[in-house]
Structure 1
Amino acid sequence: MASLKRMILTALKSLSRGKSFLQALLAFWISPKCDPTEVKQSNTFRRTREEFLKEAQQLLLGPIGTYGFPRNERSFDTSANQDDPLLLLSNKLKRQFREGQQSNPACMLPSYNHQLPGGHEHGQFLAVDIGGSTLRVGLVDLKGRGAQSNGDDTIIHMDSYIIDKTVRLLQGTEFFRWMARKIEAGVKKAIDAGHVSKEEYESGESMPIGLAWSFPLEQTSPNGGNICPMGKSFLACDGVIGHDLGATCNKIFRELGVNVEVVSIVNDSNATLLSSAYLNPSTRFGLILGTGVNIAAHLPVNLVGKAKFGDRPDSWYEQASHVMVNTELGMFGGGILPVTRWDMILKAGHDRPDFQPLEHPVSGYYLGEVFRIALVEAIRTTDVLGGEMPPLLLEPYSMDTETMSLMVAGLSSKGKANEVFSQLYDLPPGIPSTDDMRFMQQLAGYIAQRSAAIVAASLFALWELKNEAEQTLLDGLQPESPFSEETAVELGIEKTTVGYTGSVISHFPNYKETLQLYLDQLINSAGHDLKERRIELVPAKESSLLGAAVSLAGVVEEEQRVKVGEKEMA
Structure 2
Amino acid sequence: MTSLREALAAAIKSLLRGKSFLQALLAFWISPASLSPRDAEPTKCSNPQRAVADFLKEAEILLLGPVDDGRLQDLAGKLKHQFREGLRSNPACMLPSYNHQLPNGSELGRYLALDVGGSTLRVALVELNHRETPNLESGIVRIDSFKIDTKIRNLRGADFFDWMAERIQQTMTKANEQQCYSLENPLLMGLAWSFPIDQTSSKGGKLCGMGKGFLAADGLLGEDLGAIIKAACQKKGLHVELSAIVNDSSATLLSEAYASPSTRFGLILGTGVNIAVHLPVVTIGRHKYGVRPDTWHEKASHVIVNTELGMFGKDVLPLTRWDKLLKSSHPRPDFQPLEHLVSGYYLGEVCRLALVEAIESTGLFCGVVPPSLLTPYSLDTETVSMIETDTSPSLEAARLLFVSRHPAPDEVSLPSVTDMAALKTLASYVSRRSASIVAASLFALWELKAEEETEFLRSLPASSPFAAETEAELCLGTTVAAFNGSVIERYPGYRANLQKSIDDLIAASTTKNENGGSIKLTEAKESSLLGAAVALACLE
* TM-score bin (small chain): 0.7 to 0.9
Which of residues 533, 547, 560 is equivalent to 2:517? 533
Per-residue CA shift, 1:477-504, capped at 9, x if unaligned?
1111111100000001110111001111
TM-score w.r.t. the length of structure 2 is 0.88
Equivalence for 1:515: 498
> In 2, are the aligned partners of 1:142 and 1:148 still within 8 Å (CA)?
no
Which among 326, 329, 333 is matched to residue 313 of structure 2?
333
Where in structure 2 are the equivalents of 1:92-131 lying within 5 Å? Answer: 92-131=78-117
What secondary structure sits across from 2:241 in the alignment? strand
Cα separation, 2, equivalents of 1:184 and 1:536: 39
> Residue 416 of structure 1 aligns with which residue?
397
Matched, 1:270 2:250: yes
Specify the alignment match of 1:568 in structure 2.
Answer: none
1:554 equivalent in structure 2: 538
Tell me the equivalent position of 2:351.
371
Deviation larger for 204-213 or 511-520: 204-213
Aligned counterpart, 1:259: 239
Cα deviation code 1:188-247 (max 9, x no counterpart):
1111xxxx3x54225742211111111111112111112112222222222322222222
Q: Distance in 2 between matches of 1:357 and 1:130?
A: 22
The answer as to 2:51 corresponding to 1:48 is yes
**Which secondary structure state, in structure 2, belongs to the residue aligned with residue 101 of structure 1?**
helix
CA contact (8 A) 1:211 1:264 kept: yes
- Give the 3 Å change call, closer, same or farther, for CA 147–450 of structure 1 in structure 2: farther
Range with bigger deviation, 393-402 or 241-250: 241-250
Aligned residues of 1:253 and 1:261 also touching (Cα < 8 A): no
Q: C-alpha distance in 1, partners of 2:526/2:128?
A: 13
For 1:306-385, list aligned pairs within 5 A.
Answer: 306-385=286-365
Query: Which residue in 2 is equivalent to 1:438?
Result: 421
Quote the Cα distance in structure 1 between the aligned partners of 2:129 and 2:309: 32
Match of 1:16 in 2: none
CA offset at residue 319 of structure 1?
1.0
**Compared with structure 1, are the counterparts of its residues 148 and 438 closer, same or farther at alpha carbon in structure 2 (3 Å cutoff)?**
farther
Tell me the residue number matched to 1:187: 172
Q: CA deviation at 1:150?
A: 12
* Structure 1 position 140 matched with structure 2 position 123: no
Q: Give the Cα separation in 1 of the matches to 2:474 and 2:332.
A: 40
2:124 maps to a residue whose letter is: G
**Aligned equivalents of 2:341, 2:18: Cα separation in 1:** 31
Amino acid at match of 1:434: V
Aligned equivalent of 2:378: 398
Shifted more, 311-320 versus 452-461: the winner is: 311-320
Tell me the SS of whatever aligns to 1:105: coil
Q: Which amino acid aligns with 2:102?
A: L
Instruction: Tell me whether 142-151 or 208-217 shows the greater mean CA deviation.
Output: 142-151
Is contact 1:148–1:279 with CA below 8 Å preserved after alignment? no
Q: 1:64 is matched with which residue?
A: 67
Identify the residue that residue 30 of structure 2 maps to in structure 1.
none
For residues 132 and 255 of structure 1, the distance between their equivalents in structure 2, rounded to whole angstroms, comes to 25
Give the Cα separation in 2 of the matches to 1:63 and 1:234: 33
What is the match of residue 462 of structure 1? 445
**Long gaps (5+) in structure 1:** 1-33, 68-83, 557-570
Alignment CA distance shift 1:341-1:381 (3 Å): same
Is residue 2:223 matched to residue 1:243? yes
The 3 A distance-change label for structure 1 pair 467 and 160 is same
Say which one has the larger Rg: 2
State whether residues 19 and 360 of structure 2, in contact with CA within 8 Å, keep that contact through their aligned partners in structure 1.
no
Q: Deviations over 1:332-376 (max 9, x none)?
A: 111100011111111111111111100111011110011111111
How far apart are residue 136 of structure 1 and its match? 1.4
| 1:325/1:148 CA distance change after superposition, 3 Å | farther
* CA apart distance, 1:168: 2.4
Find 2:456's aligned residue among 473, 477, 492. Answer: 473
SS state at 1:62 partner: helix
What RMSD over aligned residues (CA atoms) do the two structures have, in Å?
2.3
Indicate the residue corresponding to 1:177 in structure 2.
162
Seen in structure 2, the aligned counterparts of structure 1 residues 148 and 165 have a Cα distance that, compared at 3 Å, is farther
Give the secondary structure class of the aligned counterpart of 1:480: coil
Which residue is equivalent to 2:35?
A: none
Q: Which residue identity lines up with residue 418 of structure 1 in the other structure?
A: R
Aligned counterparts of 2:503 and 2:58: Cα–Cα separation in 1: 27
Deviation per residue, 1:367-415 (Å, 9 max, x gap): 0011111111111222322333222222211100111112211179x98
Structure 1 residue 504 corresponds to structure 2 residue 487: yes
Counterpart of 2:49 in structure 1: which amino acid?
R
1:494 and 1:534 in contact (8 A); partners too: yes
CA contact (8 A) 1:410 1:418 kept: no
| CA–CA separation in structure 2 for the residues paired with 1:149 and 1:403 | 40
Q: What is the deviation of 1:438?
A: 2.0
Separation of aligned partners in 2, 1:533 and 1:148: 31
Q: Aligned equivalents of 1:121 and 1:94: distance in 2? A: 35
How far did 1:163 drift? 2.4
1:523–1:530 Cα contact (<8 Å) kept:
no
Q: What is the rounded CA distance, in whole Å, between the counterparts of 1:303 and 1:368 in structure 2?
A: 37
Correspondence 1:86 to 2:69:
no
Identity of paired residues, percent?
53
The AA in structure 2 aligned to 1:173 is A
Looking at structure 1, the residues matched to 499 and 154 of structure 2 have their Cα atoms a distance apart, in angstroms, of 39
Residue deviations 1:269-321 (CA, integer Å, cap 9, x gap): 11111111111111100000011101111111111111100001222111111
Q: In structure 2, the residue corresponding to 1:99 is in which secondary structure?
A: helix
In structure 1, what is the Cα distance between the partners aligned to 2:446 and 2:352? 34
Q: TM-score, normalised by structure 1?
A: 0.83
Once the 2 structures are TM-superposed, how far is the Cα of residue 141 of structure 1 from its aligned partner?
1.8
Assess if the C-alpha contact under 8 Å between 1:150 and 1:541 holds in 2: no
Q: Secondary structure at the match of 1:396?
A: coil
CA contact (8 A) 2:17 2:368 kept: no
Question: Using the alignment, how far apart are the partners of 1:547 and 1:241 within structure 2?
Answer: 26
Q: How far, CA to CA, are the matches of 1:138 and 1:353 in structure 2? A: 35
Change (3 A) 1:379 1:429: closer
Report the CA distance between 1:535 and its aligned residue.
0.5
Q: Which runs of 5 or more structure 2 residues have no equivalent in the other structure? A: 1-14, 25-41
> 1:25-72: CA deviations, max 9, x gaps?
xxxxxxxxx85465446723222222111111110111110x5xxxxx
* 2:34 counterpart residue number: none
Deviations 1:443-476 (A, max 9, x none): 1111100000000010011111111000001111
- AA aligned opposite 2:480: T
Count of aligned pairs between the two proteins: 499
Contact 1:407 1:417 (C-alpha < 8 Å) held by counterparts: yes
2:189 is the counterpart of 1:209 = yes
Q: Distance in 1 between matches of 2:99 and 2:237?
A: 30
